[in-house]
Each structure stands twice: as C-alpha cells, then as structure tokens.
Amino acid sequence: MTYKENARKYIENYDLSIGDTVKINKEDISYTGILLDRPEDADDGYLVIKLSSGYNIGVAIENTTAELIEKGDKPKIGYDEEEIPHDPSKQDISIVSTGGTVSSVIDYRTGAVHPKFTASDLVKANPELLDYANYNVKALYNILSENMKPEYWVKAAEEIANDINDSADGVVIAHGTDTMHYTSAALSFMLKTPVPIIITGAQRSSDRPSSDANINLIDSVIAAKSDIAEVCVCMHGSLNDRFTYLHKGTKVRKMHTSRRDTFRSINAQPIAKIENKKVNINPDYSYTKRGANKLALNTDIEEKVGFIKSFPGISEEYIEYHIDKGYKGLVIEGTGLGHVPDNLIGSFKRAQDENIPVIMTSQCLYGRVNMNVYSTGREILDAGVISGLDMTPETTYVKLCWALGQSDEYSEVKEIMQRNIAGEFSEKSSIRDFLN
C-alpha cells in the first residue's frame, strides 16, 4: 500500500484493505466502489475509488465516514503457467529481460498494469512467437533503463554468454529505450559472438493496443535467427507499423523523446531492414556472419569515467573536479569539430600528467572530430586529448570504460581507443549519413 499518513490512518482506522468494496459517505453524497491504491507521488488527503462504471475518482477524506461493503478477494494476477511446446525443427532463441515491459497484464478490476515476464506470459501475449522459434525466457533484472549501471552490462554479457554456450541460436534482449544504446555499445565491446544478439524495446508501453512492442519483438526474433552475428538494436524504422531497422550496436542513438522511430544509425546506415518478416540486408554492409567468431567474453570495465558536455563559459573546475575525485578517464562532448574554451586546456594537460586519458567527441553528433583545423583544436591535441573520431559520445564513453578495464596505461588506452573493436568508427564519412 502506498497510501501515506492521513489516508493510511483513515484506512487502518476503518480496517479497510486495497481491493475491498467500500462506501465513502460525504455530507451530501456517497461513493461506492473498490478501494484502490494510490500513485506514490499523490496527496495523502484522498482515497482512490473505482466506481462500478469502471471510472476511478479521488475522494477527499476530510469530513467523511467509510463503511466496508464487501471484502475484496486478493487479486490474482497472471495466468497459470503453461508448458510451451518445443519444436525441434525450429531454432532456439533466448530472450533476456532487463526491465521494461515486453508484455503486461492489465488487472481491469483494479486498473493496475503488471509487467509480466515468463516465457508463458510472453507467448500468451504474443502467440505468433511460436511460429518462429523455441524460447528460453528469463528476467535478468527489473530496472528502469535510466537506472542502468555499468555493472549491469557485465551481468547481461555474462548471461548472454551462458545462453550462447547453452547453444542458443540467437539472443534477444528486452531493454528500456532510454539507455539502450549504451548497453548495445557495451555488449558490442564485451562479447565476440557467433550468433545474433538483438536488443529491442518499446516506445509505447505494451499495455496499450497501439504498442510497438509486438512488432519490435517479432522482428527481433527474426533478426536473432538471421545470419548477422553482431550486437544490434532492432526498433521501428518509421512511424508506420510496417518495418523495423537493425542498427549496429555501436552506431545507434536514441534521437527523439517519444517517437517510435527514435533510434537512428549515426554516421552509418542501418545494417538491415526487416519488413514482412524478412531480413533485407543493406548490400553495402559487410557484417560478421553467423559462426565466423568464436564466443569470447571480456567484461573488464572501469566505472569511474567522467562524461562532460562543453558549453560557452564552462569553467575548468569541471575538469579539475573529476581529476581531484580520482576519475580514471574523461569523455568530453565538445563543440563543432571537437573544441572547448581554451581555459580548459591547462586542466587537460594536468589530466595527461596524471595518466588520465581524455577523449574528445562532438555534440554535433553527426560528423567526425578533427582538432587540426583550428588553433584551439591543435592546442587541445597538444594537451594529450585523444580524438573520438566519428563515434557517438555515448559509444565513446562506454568504450573508454571498457578500455580502462583493459589497461591503466595512457598509451595503451589511447591505442585501444583508436583501434576499431566493434565497428564503432569508420574511416570514411558518407554523403548519405546525415539526419536520417
């Protein structure tokens, strides 16, 4: 029960429980309905009543009396677990949930939405899944995507490696969308994979009929069965429920707060378009084929990495603070080609002196960092700052965490940052790769 203080006392005083049918008497009207729980951020002076018409209303408890009409049954949520048939002619796909709701069950009696994540739930909500594969489903953890931490990337990578060792033919990871591109980059660096690893999610929650979850999930399963043995993000390719894109895990970014087609390949094209249950691979794209790599797991990671956005008037204190606090590396989101105000350059030198690698990226997102063009850029380079090339700032941040997990040495970290590990940068900037 999330009722607080006054409301809580009131409920306890009348010996009521959530789910009971109650009658609240006010001076000139009374309301009869089911007592519901209240969202946590709401006022303690109100009760939530679900009327027989299905509507919820809030009733101010001041000057009211309550009576119990009927004790409510404890709501039973979810269905009975059912055995999912195993078809030996189909591939085995492992589905891992990190939170977010790929399937939800609505308890219409109380109006509550319960995220569900057992294989049986998933198949009940998306029965057409059975047409494509056999499933091994597990909930790894249940967190909001914004609460993701580097340590969870490690756990996910280990779990996926286990599944692949257990002969999964492909892995689908259900993930909240906010930090999906950080996780996709992390898994790209941590895992060498012989099978597809597909990360997906939904921009509209799965408790609504218009949710994009079903299409994204089905297409992810189809991608997981494909020949593309890479870490990819699979999400809606347009506002239509018509096709999804498969983006390279290191070249993708969430670009809109709410649209379904929020994920875009940055400084790259999608690997494939999935339409009508078929994977159409971009012919210009050379991808790692199924079975080409042996499974390898490298989850060594340094979590103490700073991520700083430059802005007009930024003080060097931002840099000094991170050095003072013992940060092991810094990613800067500079302006334009990779610049910061020149008052920061002294602090960059100090970082270099203290063996702290600093990587420069651009808040333009599109295009390549090049610090040779203007004098400030050259001074920044001279201060030991390493170019993030055409990587997204987020991928650069994840890569630096991983690189610092591999080595403490500035020069070795620099070498790793400039070596292409998982297709995170390209040499060539294509005329097509902008705002699409």
Nearer to another protein among residue 59 and residue 401 (C-beta): 59
Regarding 56 and contact with another protein (CB under 8 A), the answer is yes
Phi, psi of 332 (to 5 degrees): -105, 135
Q: Which residues of 7-32 are buried (b: 16+ CB within 10 A; e: fewer)?
A: beebbeeeebebbbbbebeeeeeeee
Closer of 153 and 245 to another protein (Cβ): 245
Place of tokens 């700032």: 393
To the query of whether residue 177 is one of the catalytic residues in this protein, the response is yes
User: Among residues 254, 273, 328, 399, which one is catalytic?
Assistant: 254
Interface with another protein includes 51 (CB under 8 A)?
Answer: yes
Q: Is 143 in the site for another protein (CB under 8 A)?
A: no
Q: Does 28 bind another protein (CB under 8 A)?
A: yes
**What CA–CA distance (Å, rounded) separates 98 from 236?**
20
Of 178, 262, 309, 414, catalytic: 178
Give residues with Cβ within 8 angstroms of 44, minimum separation 6: 3, 4, 5, 6, 7, 8
CA atoms within 13 A on the CB side of 332: 32
- Residue in 13, 210, 276, 286 binding another protein, rule: CB under 8 A: 210
Residues 347 and 322: beta-carbon distance below 8 Å: no
3-state helix/strand/coil string of 54-109: CCEEEEECCCCEEEEEECCCCCCCCCCCCCCCCCCCCCEEEEEECCCCCEEEEECC
Q: How many residues bind another protein (CB under 8 A)?
A: 52
Amino acid present at 94 = S
Task: Confirm whether 179 is a catalytic residue.
Answer: no
Stretch 78-137 residues interacting with another protein (CB under 8 A): 78-79, 104-109, 111-113, 124-125
Choose the stretch contacting another protein; rule: CB under 8 A; options: 3-11, 207-215, 295-303, 426-434.
207-215
Please, what is the minimum distance in Å from the beta carbon of residue 388 to another protein? 31
Which residue's entry shows tokens 């001074």? Answer: 379
> 55 or 311: whose CB is closer to another protein?
55
Q: Give the residue, chosen from 191, 215, 359, 386, that forms a contact with another protein under the rule CB under 8 A.
A: 215
What 8-state DSSP symbol labels residue 294? P
Residue 1 found at the interface with another protein (CB under 8 A): no
- The CB density around residue 231, as the number of other CB atoms within 10 Å, is 29
* 184-192, 258-266, 307-315, 373-381 -> range binding another protein (CB under 8 A): 258-266
335: left (phi over 0), alpha (psi -120 to 50) or beta: beta
Among 74, 76, 294, 325, binds another protein (CB under 8 A): 76
3-class DSSP state of 277: coil
Q: Is 204 in the site for another protein (CB under 8 A)?
A: yes
Residue with Cβ nearer another protein (104 or 183): 104
In the complex, least distance from residue 27 CB atom to another protein, rounded to whole angstroms: 10
Q: Does 242 bind another protein (CB under 8 A)?
A: yes
Distance CA 18, CA 110 (A): 9
241 sits near another protein (criterion: CB under 8 A):
yes
Active site residues: 101, 177-178, 254
Residues that bind another protein (CB under 8 A): 28-29, 31, 39, 42-43, 46, 48, 51-60, 75-79, 104-109, 111-113, 124-125, 203-204, 206-211, 214-215, 239-242, 257-260
